[in-house]
Amino acid sequence: MSEKLQKVLARAGHGSRREMEAWIAAGRISIDGEIAKLGDRIESDAKVRIDGRAVSIKSADDVVCRVLAYHKPEGEICSRKDPEGRPTVFDRLPKVRDSRWVAVGRLDINTSGLLLFTSDGELANRLMHPSNEVEREYAVRTFGEVPEAAVQRLRQGVMLEDGPANFDSVKAAGGEGINQWWHVTLHEGRNREVRRLWESQEVQVSRLIRVRYGMIELPKSLPRGGWTELTMEQVNYLRQVAGLEPETRSFLGTDKHSVSRAKVKSAKIRRAVRKHKVTGGKKPTRQRS
């Protein structure tokens, strides 16, 4: 094996490579009983612990890259835990053995739509790197009149507090009265960039939904709070974008039984989402007759 520690841990889904480097620097990771250092390389038989807890390490051949598409609702935050007790995007994801889901980027608490998760931290790290410039598409509902001159400025570029920015495209998508829908695309992923661009033209955004990440679209049949696993073809599209070797295995099958199980799983997800909406995430109490 003899690979860098942070790369092995990231690939196994313990976090992004950047996170693993920070944990190593903080002395949270040990190799065979010794505190790890940045630059350490490990073999496949090494005993690795994070915060004293033994973790699994696998070679590239042993890891199956999985990617989920999640329909994030408004009101969820992109953190594993929240001191204020607010719901997070990780709460409803399926359990994954000897690994964990890593979010590919973030959406702010008031933004809904497509959010990708992967069990391969290296894939997440590369997709989030600015050099990849993966195109994102958003559906935006604005409140009030939007002058054509403002739309032209958003296409050509405006100056934000962290530098120049612009939309690659801005297209009107209908609406009623003072509420107007737009579809916008951009390649960057700066913090709240879509909202800040509209705000630079004194336009109020009342809804913001990410509908596409690269060639991966938000499935129209996927309810808010629901997730679905991407096919091997979709996973390998993302791996190609990230400059990684294609995956040859998948947890999804193509036989009729697999399709049937996928439909059953989809139905379960929908029921769970509806139940969550009705109960507010709490277990319903029985009423005596």
Q: Which residues are catalytic?
A: 108
Q: Which residues touch 280 (CB under 8 Å, ≥6 apart)?
A: none
What sign for the dihedral angle of Cα 146, 147, 150, 151?
positive
Please name every residue paired with 275 in a beta bridge, in sequence order, or none if there are none: none
Token pair 């091997």 is found at 232
Closest CA to 189 of 132, 139, 244: 132
Angle at 188 between CA 182 and CA 194, to 5 degrees: 35
